[in-house]
């Protein structure tokens, strides 16, 4: 009976393993914005949009992916976070804060404009329509991923009763983002902020170990699940938080101002003492 039970359990686990391999391919999805509420509620600027440029926003740590069994040559974080920063700048404050000009691949942009100019000059001659001038930025946003500390906190717990029990392990990594706004006119650093983001990893498992026939035969079973927070999405979230903090710090230091709602007009004597609910417009009696 016990052998039959073990056989059925083994077949069941094998079927689960095959079922996992038969999962359908997942469709691409849009990366979530975990700070959507902060992006939406931040007040718009009092002045027109600020024109900014981003040349690079890369990994400055050189940290390799942590592995306890082999030497990994893969980087712990993304090597090109400029798209995350550009997207955050375009979306913050419902798109009312920044106009971002292309600078990460400015050589390709200049080449394309040169091709257009040469073709127009060749086919239209002196009457060729000129391209409008490119926008220039008043502020350059600099910075990068300046820190990545792996396994800053790790631990776990486990217990077993009669050879059966669960176990849990966890670890915590920290990624650090630095962002600063530099004035193109003076080269002065106007605002600088630093944001940290915690990355959690957990592993849960259940193990069964039983001996039969006076300890001559054993049955062992272990199953578990490991969840690792995506490091790329953690970097994206940290960059979005850095953009929000940059705007708040800039307002605090007087670099720009928020456009707060206009206060309601002060109530006049006429509004206080004249009854406007009817057509008689009788002056109310003062107490």
pLDDT at 271 over 70: no
Any idea where the domains of the chain sit in the sequence? 31-148+175-198+231-262
Could you give the CA distance from residue 152 to residue 260 in angstroms, rounded to a whole number?
42
Confidence of residue 279 (pLDDT cuts 50, 70, 90): very low
Tokens of 65: 């992916």
Could you give the CA distance from residue 45 to residue 93 in angstroms, rounded to a whole number?
9
Residues 6+ apart with CB under 8 A from 251: 257, 258
pLDDT digits (tens, 9 = 90+) for 186-199: 999 999 999 998 88
Could you give the CA distance from residue 251 to residue 195 in angstroms, rounded to a whole number?
18
Mean pLDDT along residues 242-264:
82
Q: Choose the most confident range, by mean pLDDT, from 1-5, 32-36, 137-141, 215-219.
A: 137-141
pLDDT at 17 over 70: no
Between 148-152, 172-176, 263-267, the lowest mean confidence (pLDDT) is in 263-267
Residue 160, SS3? Answer: coil
The residues with which 225 forms a beta bridge, in sequence order, are 204
Confidence of residue 81 (pLDDT cuts 50, 70, 90): confident
The whole model's pTM is what?
0.73
Could you give the CA distance from residue 220 to residue 195 in angstroms, rounded to a whole number?
46
Share of the chain above pLDDT 90, in %: 17
Report yes or no: 152 and 201 within 8 Å, Cβ to Cβ. no
- Pick 31-148+175-198+231-262's CATH classification: 2.40.50.140, 3.30.70.260, 3.40.50.10610, 3.40.50.300: 3.40.50.10610
Which ranges of the chain would DSSP assign to H, the alpha helix?
Answer: 2-21, 36-41, 82-95, 106-124, 231-252, 269-273
The residue ranking higher by pLDDT, 186 or 30, is: 186
pLDDT at 10 over 60: no
pLDDT digits (tens, 9 = 90+) for 101-145: 998 888 888 998 999 888 888 888 877 888 888 888 899 999 988
Q: What is the DSSP letter of 105?
A: T
Residues 6+ apart with CB under 8 A from 134: 101, 109, 113
Confidence of residue 280 (pLDDT cuts 50, 70, 90): very low
pLDDT digits (tens, 9 = 90+) for 32-66: 666 667 777 888 888 888 999 999 888 888 776 66
Q: What is the DSSP letter of 125?
A: G
Confidence of residue 149 (pLDDT cuts 50, 70, 90): confident
Burial environment of residue 246 by CB neighbours within 10 A (0 to 12, 13 to 18, 19 or more): buried
Read off φ and ψ for residue 138, nearest 5 degrees: -90, -20
**Length of the chain in residues, anyone?**
287
Instruction: Please report where in the chains the tokens 């903090």 appear, as a residue.
Output: 245
Confidence of residue 68 (pLDDT cuts 50, 70, 90): low
């Amino acid at each position: 009976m016990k052998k039959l039970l073990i056989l059925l359990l083994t077949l069941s686990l094998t079927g689960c393993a095959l079922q996992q391999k038969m999962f359908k391919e997942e469709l691409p999805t849009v990366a979530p914005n975990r700070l959507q509420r902060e992006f939406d509620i931040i007040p718009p600027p009092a002045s027109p949009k600020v024109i900014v440029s981003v040349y690079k926003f890369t990994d400055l740590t050189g940290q390799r992916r942590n592995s306890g069994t082999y030497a990994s040559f893969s980087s712990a974080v993304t090597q090109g976070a400029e798209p995350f920063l550009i997207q955050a700048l375009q979306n913050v404050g419902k798109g009312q804060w920044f106009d971002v000009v292309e600078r990460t691949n400015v050589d390709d942009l200049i080449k394309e404009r040169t091709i257009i100019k040469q073709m127009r000059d060749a086919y239209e001659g002196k009457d060729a329509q000129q391209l409008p001038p490119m926008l220039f930025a008043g502020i350059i946003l600099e910075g990068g991923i300046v820190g990545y500390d792996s396994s800053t906190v790790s631990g776990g717990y486990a217990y077993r009763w009669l050879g059966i029990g669960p176990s849990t392990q966890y670890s915590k990594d920290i990624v650090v983002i630095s962002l600063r706004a530099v004035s193109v006119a003076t080269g002065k650093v106007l605002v600088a902020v630093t944001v940290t983001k915690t990355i959690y990893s957990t592993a849960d498992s259940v193990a069964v170990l039983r001996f039969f026939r006076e300890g001559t035969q054993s049955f062992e079973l272990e199953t578990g699940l490991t969840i690792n927070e995506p490091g790329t999405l953690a970097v994206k979230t940290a960059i979005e938080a850095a953009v929000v903090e940059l705007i708040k710090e800039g307002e605090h230091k007087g670099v720009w101002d928020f456009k707060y709602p206009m206060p309601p007009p002060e109530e006049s004597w006429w509004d206080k003492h004249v009854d406007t609910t009817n057509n008689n417009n009788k002056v109310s009696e003062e107490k």
